[in-house]
Structure 1
C-alpha cells in the first residue's frame, strides 16, 4: 500500500453484514445473560412490609397473667412476652426463657436455669427476680387473674436460688406442673412493688414492657401496632410492622378485607367458611384446636341416674352427622375424654360409636317403651324427657337441637333451653341444677389432667365435676396419674380411665373443633400447626413475609 493511501473502502453490503453480525452477538449475549440470571438467582424473603390482621374485640389487659379473659389480650401477650417454657408444634413443653430445668426424683422440686444475657425491651436484664415476682403474684388470694392459677400456685414454694435460677417446691407430686410454667413473665423492676389487687389498674397494661419477639409501638381504639423487638434473642421477624385492626364483629372484618384494609382474618367461624372461600386471594389455614365439647349428664338427676339410659343416649348420638349438619364439617369426632392428639390417649380402647339399634335395645331392657304410640318412650306412666341446656349462641343451639332430633329417633323427647353465660354458670352449672348440659372445655393443656372434671371431690361447687360422677376406681386412677412422673404408667392409667368413662357414660364426648384463619396470598411463609388457642397462629410469625429479594441460588441454599 502506497504511503498516504487510506486503503480501499469496504463495500456497502459488507458493512451491513458486519453490523448485523455485531448486533446478533450482542443480542445473543443479552439473552444468555438473562438466562443465567433466571437460572442462577432465586427470590427469598426480605425484611420489611406490614401485615395487618382484622380481629374481633379490643384489648383490655395485654398482660400475660390476665390475658385469659380476652382473645385479643391473648394475642398481644403471645407476641410481647415469653415464659420459662413454651409449647412447641408437637405439643411438648420445651425451654423458652429457661435454658434448662431439673426435677428431683420425687417430682417435688423443679429448678429452672434462665438463659444468660436475656433482656427486657427497655434493656434491663431478665432474671430470677422476674420469675419469683410473677409466680408469687399468682399465689395471692387478691390475684385478679383466673382462679385456677391461684389454686395451683398457692401451695407451691417459689424461691430465688441465684440471679439466673429459680426453684419451685410442690407440696405433693403434680405431673402436669410444667404446663403451668409457660405463662409469660412480668418485669419485677417495673411491677415489683405492685400489689396483686392493683395490677388491673397499673399503667403497665396500656404501655407494657415485654421480652417477646415484638414490642408495642402504639395502640388506639382502632388498631394496635407492633414492631420487632431488637433485643429479643429469638429469630428476627421479617415483618417491619404487625397491625391488629379492631372490629366489632365478623361481618365488619369480612367487609374490611373486601375493602383492602386488612390482609388477614383472625378467626373464621364454621358458618362463614363458604363466605370466606369466596373472598379474593384469601388462603385458608385450618388445624384442630385443643378444645373439646361434651354433653354432660347430671348422674344424680332422674332419669339420668340410670347408667343404661346414659349409655343408650350415647349410642343414639351420631357425631359425624352432627358435625356435618350443625358445624359445617369443622370439627373432629371425639369418643373419649382425651383428645386423639394427646400422648395420654389410648386408641386401643374401644369406644361407643353410633348404633341406634343397640340404643333401642338398651332402652327396652331398662323398661322404657312407647306404651301409647306417641313416639316417646315412657316408664311407670312417666315420659322419657330430657332438657338440654346450652349457651344461647347460634352454633350451640344448632348442636343441641341436632342432638335432640337424633334422640327422638330412638324415642327420647329432648327440649333445648338456651341461656346466657351468666345464667348457665350461676343458675345451672354451679348448683348442678340441670339434666344435660352442652359444655366446652376450652383450656385443654398439653398434659391432660382429668381430676378436676371426674374426681368425686370435685362434684360440688367450686369443683368442675358437673356430672357429679362418683367412682372409687376412677378416683384412684386419677390420683395416681397426676402424681407419678412415669409417662408409660400414666398412659396405662388413662387407658383404664377411658374404659370406665365409656362404661359409666357420665357424658357424651362429642367433638374437637377446628380453627380456621385467613391470610391474603401476598403474605408468605405462613404455617399453622396444632393450636391450643388462636394466639398459637403466631408460633411461626418470625417466618411470615411480604417482601422478597433476589439472591444467587447458592447463597439461598446456604441460608444467606
Structure 2
C-alpha cells in the first residue's frame, strides 16, 4: 500500500529532511575538525584527552548506577540449588515409616500434614484450613483445604487422611507412630471434613496432626517405592552407593499447591558420616547439618531442640530407694564409706564426655562409679532389663514436654526406667495432659519436674544442639526455633539463593 502525502505534509517533511541533511553535514565537519585537531596534538596531549574521556564515561556509569539503585530495590528471585550435606542415614522417606532425624527432615519437604509448625514454633493450618475441638476435648473436626494435589496429580481429600492413619495403626506396618494413633478413630465425614475421636482428652493431640499424609492409593501399595506428597518438593532422583544405601536425594519444586510456595527450585541432600563426609570439597554445599565444618565461608545457624540427656537413679533397689542416699548423689553430701555404683551409658561421644565428668564429681563424694559403655543395641537391652544403678538416657519431648510416659506408674515396664510410682504424681500427670491450654500444661509440667528434682530423681543436662551451618549465599535464614531437627525446614519458603531488582 502506498502512502500519499498532502501538499502541506510534503512541505513539512521536506523541511525536516533538509534540516537533517544540514545537521549531518555539520556534525561530520565537526568530527573531521576534531580528528584533525587530535592529530595535531602532542602525544602527551592526546593521552590526556583520552584519559579525560575515560574518566567522563566512568563518572556517567557511576552516576547512572546510583540512579538505578536509588530507583530500584533488591527482592528474592526464584531459582538456584540448595545442596545440604546431612550427617545421617535414610532408609524410608514415606512419613508413615520415617524414623530417623534425616528421614523425617527429607519427608517434611515432600509431605504435608493437617497442621504444621511455623518458624516461630506455633501450630498453623496446612492441609486443614481450620478445625474445631469439642468442649470435652474428645473430638477434633478438621475442615480441609480444597484444590490440593499430590505430586502425582491425584487430588487430596479426607479419604487420604483416614487411609494414612489406618495404615499407621496396622501392626503389620510397624510404624514408629502406631502408639500415638492406636486408640484414635478417624472418619472421613465427606471429601473435605475429617473427624477424629479420642478415648480420653489429650491436650497435645494437635501436634500429632503434623503427621505427613499419604495418597490413599500409595497406602494400598508399597510404602517404600511410592513417594507422593502434597509438600513443596517432589522426588527427582535417588542415588545409592555400592552397598545399596541411599547416598543422595534430589528434589525439585514441582507442586503448585497455593500453601507451599518456595523460591529455591531444587534441593539436593547428600548423606555422609562426618563433616567432610568423604564427598570432596565443601564448596559445593549450601549447608552442613550434623557436622562442624572448618570452612570459614559457612555461617553457624545451630539450634537447640526439645531433646535432653538426663541422669536418673534406679530406685527399685533398697539403696537408691532411700532419698537420703539420692540427695548425697544429686545434691550435697559425702558418704562415709566408699560406695560402688554402676552408670549405664551409650558409647557415643556426648554421653562419654558427661560420664567422665560424673566419675570425677562423684569421686569427691566417696562414690566409685563404674561406667558401663555399651553400643546401641546392648545399651537398649540392658536399659530395658534395668541392670544399672544410675542411667544416662535421652528424653525426646518433641513438641510437648509431657512426662507421662517416663514417670507414670502404668509405664513401669516401658520407659519409666527409674521405677518411680506415686499416686499423687500419677494424678498430676493425668490432669496436666488433659489441658487444652498449652501455657497451663507447661506450668503443670514445670511443677512436676521441680518435684522430681527435689526428690533427687532426675538431673537434666543442656538440651541437645543441632549443628547447622549455611553458606553466605543462602539468604532469608533467620534464627531457627525448633523442637525437632526437621523444624529447620519450617521456614524454607523464606530461603532464597538468587536476587533481582524491581522499581521502588
Out of 265, 271, 274, the residue aligned to residue 250 of structure 1 is 274
| Aligned residues of 1:391 and 1:421 also touching (Cα < 8 A) | yes
Whether 1:260 and 2:291 are equivalent positions in the alignment is no
Where does residue 179 of structure 1 map in the other structure?
207
C-alpha contact 1:523 1:546 (8 A) present in aligned 2: yes
User: Which residue pairs with 1:216 in the alignment?
Assistant: 235
Per-residue deviation, 1:417 = 0.9
Summarize deviations over 1:196-238 as a string: whole Å, max 9, x none: xxxxxx2x52341111010001111142110002322224222
Q: Aligned residue for 1:159?
A: 187
- The aligned counterpart of 2:399 is 446
Rounded Cα–Cα distance in structure 2 between residues aligned with 1:89 and 1:47: 20
Say which one has the larger Rg: 2
From 154, 175, 181, the counterpart of 1:145: 175
State the partner residue of 2:114: 84
Counterparts in 2 of 1:227 and 1:384: CA distance versus 1, 3 Å: same
1:537 Cα deviation after fit: 1.6
Distance 1:290 1:446 in 2: 7
Q: Verify the 8 A CA contact 2:97 2:175 in the aligned structure 1.
A: yes
Unaligned runs of 5+ residues in structure 2 are: 1-24, 39-48, 241-246
What are the within-5 Å matches in structure 2 for residues 402-413 of structure 1?
402-413=357-368
CA distance in 2, matches of 1:31, 1:437: 68
User: What CA distance in whole angstroms lies between the structure 1 residues aligned with 2:282 and 2:123?
Assistant: 41
Task: Check if 1:436 corresponds to 2:390.
Answer: yes
- SS of alignment partner, residue 464 of structure 1: coil
Contact 2:115 2:124 in 1 (8 A): yes
- Go from structure 1 to structure 2 and tell me whether the alpha carbon gap of 1:238 and 1:415 turns closer, same or farther (over 3 Å shift): same
Superposition pairs for residues 141-540 of structure 1, below 5 Å?
A: 141-146=171-176, 149-191=177-219, 193-194=220-221, 202=222, 204-221=223-240, 222-247=247-272, 249-253=273-277, 256=279, 258=281, 260-268=283-291, 273=292, 276=293, 278-315=294-331, 359-360=332-333, 363=334, 368-369=335-336, 378=337, 383-426=338-381, 428-442=382-396, 444-459=397-412, 461=413, 463-487=414-438, 489-540=440-491
- Tell me which of 495, 498, 501 is aligned to 1:547: 498
Q: Hey, what's the Cα distance between the residues in 2 that align with 1:391 and 1:524?
A: 38
Paired residue total:
460
When residues 524 and 257 of structure 1 are mapped into structure 2, their CA distance, relative to the original with a 3 A threshold, is farther
Does the residue aligned with 2:195 lie in a helix, a strand or coil?
strand
C-alpha displacement of 1:299: 1.1
2-side partners of 1:295 and 1:109: how far apart?
Answer: 38
Contact 1:258 1:279 in 2 (8 A): no
8 Å CA contact retained: 1:179, 1:445: no
TM-score in terms of structure 1 length = 0.76
**1:62 partnered with 2:114:** no
Aligned equivalents of 1:126, 1:514: Cα separation in 2: 36
1:338-394 deviation digits (Å, cap 9, x = unpaired): xxxxxxxxxxxxxxxxxxxxx12xx4xxxx31xxxxxxxx1xxxx312111100112
Deviation at 1:489, TM superposition (A): 4.8
Assess if the C-alpha contact under 8 Å between 1:389 and 1:417 holds in 2.
yes
Rounded to whole Å, the distance in 2 between the matches of 1:311 and 1:100 is 49
> Is 1:115 equivalent to 2:115 in the alignment?
no
Runs (4+) of structure 1 exceeding 4 A deviation are 22-31, 486-489
1:46 aligns with 2:62: no
Q: Structure 1 residues 33-42 or 104-113, which shifts more?
A: 33-42
CA distance 1:26–1:455, change in 2 (3 Å) = closer
Per the TM alignment, residue 93 of structure 1 is displaced from its structure 2 partner at its CA by 2.2
